[in-house]
Amino acid sequence: MYATILAGGVGTRLWPRSRQDRPKQFADITGDGVTMIQDTARRLAGLVPEERIYIVTGAAYAGLAIEQLPGVPASQILVEPTGRNTAPAIGLACMHLQRSDPTGVLAILPADHVILDGAGFRAALRRAAQVAANGYLVTLGIEPTFAHTGYGYIKRSQLIDDVDHLPAFHVERFLEKPTRTLAESFLVEGGYYWNGGIFVSRVDRMLAEIERQTPEMYARLQTIAAALDTPAAADVLAAEWRHMPSISIDYAVMEHAERVAVVPLQAGWNDVGSWDALETVLEQDERGNSIAKGEVLLLDSHNNIVYSDKRLVALINVSNLVVVDTGDTLLIGDKANMQRVKEVVEKLRAQGRTELL
Amino acid sequence: MYATILAGGVGTRLWPRSRQDRPKQFADITGDGVTMIQDTARRLAGLVPEERIYIVTGAAYAGLAIEQLPGVPASQILVEPTGRNTAPAIGLACMHLQRSDPTGVLAILPADHVILDGAGFRAALRRAAQVAANGYLVTLGIEPTFAHTGYGYIKRSQLIDDVDHLPAFHVERFLEKPTRTLAESFLVEGGYYWNGGIFVSRVDRMLAEIERQTPEMYARLQTIAAALDTPAAADVLAAEWRHMPSISIDYAVMEHAERVAVVPLQAGWNDVGSWDALETVLEQDERGNSIAKGEVLLLDSHNNIVYSDKRLVALINVSNLVVVDTGDTLLIGDKANMQRVKEVVEKLRAQGRTELL
């Protein structure tokens, strides 16, 4: 089994810890001393050794990837000339694997998700690999815990089989981010999962679907593949990438693929989409405070989330705050409004304060 | 006219800006780039030149005083071996002045008060000096703006005289910190002032009252005076100070002195007794936020008070917070509870975190 970790994103939702020069996947967001991409790689221990991991990222982050995951061969850190969404990134990894192990099974993983139950995750991934070996494109379907309107959903159909209480289902269809009402109906009806962007497939099956559904992308990937190991490799990659469609693997492949399966995942998955999400992945003290990192002294303060690089944080009679203390910036917000971090970033960008982005 | 600035205190109410090694009078609390003691000295410009200023402080702070007020002769930075409250400190300054100008008029000023209207303050002080020249012990009586229970009050009696709309009154009596009900009755009745600890007196009058009311203190001051300019000066000061009573000038002298006067002061006086007091001495933005110092980016945030050494502070949907961001510590509190800073300091002390005190 192989893994491709998608690490090209530059999110602003976890600013000021996530920065242009060190996006969240290369930062320690949960305060455990390990960056998110390191967590992602370590989570595969016993299932995918580091020498079988591929990382797709931007040129600006290749150095961080090498530094943070020294066990991954440098030749497997694949640099996208520009971001083209997930489908080309996955295609690029498949092109590389096609040469050495075209029937190998590949797990595709975002670099910036938290999964609390590593063993549960590995069991689901192992199960997905078995199903993928039989020719399915498998997605891990995250058991929804509430009517989230920020994720796409996957609707299962018939059971394929159940091994050791780990079922795999055919997929009826993929659904885009729903309205609140629709999301609520999904939960009532049952059989729906959040689409967390974790996929498992044989390399040849994935490439065959890309060829069938997006022949232009496939042709460009083939051109890139033909130039690999030649002096022109980088130039060919750059030239093809310039015209590569920017498209997600969901749209490009999964939604209309043949033989698609879903393996349910119940393992404390969280994409840490905003600072308040830390609350669901950290332990709380008896007053509901979540201390990701830092020394905190509390007087009558409840339900706060604190991340401090190194300074003492003293809180007096405050509640429901998010406090993020970094080297050059201090962010304090109401927990219910942390998605507005994007507005802060936009304001700073408009002011030309790029050093803070 | 001379001035003695009392700069011996070590307050904790403005922690973490006020520290054991740099108490608030030696810190810039209002964010104007000037420390409180520098503000206090500059406020006297045109009335008392720096070479006529005496500073009484602890040994640990003499260096800060010299550094921050280089125009004050080093010989006029009087070091108390230990804190003995205000009466001995004032007595010490008087002993020094007695030698050169016994009938000179001395203004006694705390080092850590904010006075917004410098011209108004100087006018009142000049008026007090005239009254003091006639042999009165004069106190500046701060016009109360609400029924504060944290200050002593001064009740005036008959008018002495009024010069250019600056009246001076006889003092009926000094009152200790009142109950809420009593304070409210003072405001209704009128003729009461807050005692801000600002006094003006001829040197000889002050010493005569000390001699009459607290002969032991006077005797010790005389012993100290006799040793001035001898090699034993420091030893004598230390020996006498060891047995010096610890007593305020209010108790020791003012409450039972003869010929006591009050000159009203309406000049935006504030003793900045806690962080929330900054609000009354700073301008607010249109949403009621007071930015003492620092770059602040606000989204729907109201009535906050922010002091940041140098970092950007971003606030998202938060209100009524005090945020104090220093080099090693971050304090965030509810504005109505900032007197609890003392508890934070006590906790840190109990934990042995003296480097943070």
- CA triple A267-A269-A271, angle to 5 deg: 170
Judge whether B279 and B290 are in contact, CB under 8 Å. Answer: yes
Alpha carbon B218 to chain centroid, angstroms: 24
Structure confidence at residue B310 (pLDDT): 87
Structure confidence at residue A249 (pLDDT): 97
User: Which position has the token pair 């969240």?
Assistant: A24
Structure confidence at residue B112 (pLDDT): 95
Q: If we measure between CA atoms, which residue out of A114, A72, A80, A70 comes closest to residue A7?
A: A80
pTM comes to 0.91
Share of chain B above pLDDT 70, in %: 100
Residue B196's CB: how many other CB atoms inside 10 A? 21
Give the mean pLDDT of B188-200.
Answer: 97
Structure confidence at residue B11 (pLDDT): 83
Q: How far apart are CA A5 and CA B280, in angstroms?
A: 55
- Alpha-helix runs per DSSP H in B83-179: 86-100, 118-133
Does domain B2-270 bear CATH number 3.40.50.300? no
Interaxial angle between packed helices B233-242 and B215-227, expressed in degrees from 0 to 180 and rounded to the nearest 10: 170
Judge whether A106 and A97 are in contact, CB under 8 Å. Answer: yes
Say whether pLDDT at B297 is over 90: yes
Alpha carbon A323 to chain centroid, angstroms: 24
Residue A8 burial (C-beta neighbours within 10 Å; 0-12, 13-18, 19+): buried
How many Cα atoms are found within 13 Å in the side-chain-facing hemisphere of A119? Answer: 0
Say whether pLDDT at B9 is over 90: no
B296: nearest CA in chain A? A330
Question: If you average pLDDT over every residue of chain B, what do you get?
Answer: 96
> At residue A51, what is the residue type?
E
Domain limits of chain B? Answer: 2-270, 275-356
Residue B52 three-state SS: helix
pLDDT tens, residue by residue, B307-327? 998 899 999 999 999 999 998
Structure confidence at residue A310 (pLDDT): 87
Structure confidence at residue B335 (pLDDT): 96
Residue A339's CB: how many other CB atoms inside 10 A? 15
Give the mean pLDDT of B220-227.
Answer: 96
- Across the interface, do A344 and B297 touch by the CB < 8 Å criterion? yes
Q: Which residue positions in chain A have pLDDT lower than 50?
A: none
Q: How far apart are CA A25 and CA A76, in angstroms?
A: 18
B317: nearest CA in chain A? A334
- Name the pLDDT band for B139 (thresholds 50, 70, 90): very high
Nearest to B316 among A299, A300, A338 (CB): A338
Residue B126 burial (C-beta neighbours within 10 Å; 0-12, 13-18, 19+): middle
Tell me the nearest-neighbour CA distance from B344 into chain A, angstroms: 7
Structure confidence at residue B343 (pLDDT): 96
Q: How far apart are CA A267 and CA A83, in angstroms?
A: 29
- Across the interface, do A323 and B341 touch by the CB < 8 Å criterion? no
Q: How far apart are CA B181 and CA B177, in angstroms?
A: 12
- Across the interface, do A316 and B333 touch by the CB < 8 Å criterion? yes
ipTM computed for the complex: 0.90
- Across the interface, do A344 and B299 touch by the CB < 8 Å criterion? yes
Residue A39 three-state SS: helix
Nearest to B316 among A299, A325, A333 (CB): A333
- Dihedral angle of Cα B271, B274, B277, B283, to the nearest 10 degrees: 100
- Across the interface, do B329 and A308 touch by the CB < 8 Å criterion? no
Residues of A with Cβ-Cβ distance to B348 under 8 angstroms? 297
Nearest to A333 among B317, B334, B356 (CB): B317
Structure confidence at residue A11 (pLDDT): 83
Structure confidence at residue A9 (pLDDT): 87
pLDDT tens, residue by residue, B235-281? 999 999 999 999 999 999 999 999 999 999 999 999 999 999 999 99
Q: How far apart are CA B237 and CA A332, in angstroms?
A: 51
Q: How far apart are CA B223 and CA B230, in angstroms?
A: 12
Residues of B with Cβ-Cβ distance to A300 under 8 angstroms? 337
Q: How far apart are CA A264 and CA A169, in angstroms?
A: 9
Judge whether A244 and A217 are in contact, CB under 8 Å. Answer: yes
- Alpha-helix runs per DSSP H in chain A: 36-42, 62-68, 86-100, 118-133, 180-189, 203-213, 215-227, 233-242, 249-252, 341-350
- Alpha-helix runs per DSSP H in chain B: 36-42, 62-68, 86-100, 118-133, 180-189, 203-213, 215-227, 233-242, 249-252, 278-281, 341-350
Rg (CA), chain B: 21
Give the DSSP H or E segment for B279.
helix B278-281
Q: How far apart are CA A351 and CA B281, in angstroms?
A: 29
Say whether pLDDT at B25 is over 90: yes
How many Cα atoms are found within 13 Å in the side-chain-facing hemisphere of A208? Answer: 13
Nearest to B311 among A318, A330, A340 (CB): A330
Give the mean pLDDT of B111-127.
Answer: 97
User: Which position has the token pair 């230390």?
Assistant: B238
- Across the interface, do B297 and A348 touch by the CB < 8 Å criterion? yes
Give the mean pLDDT of B57-75.
Answer: 96
Q: How far apart are CA A266 and CA B67, in angstroms?
A: 64
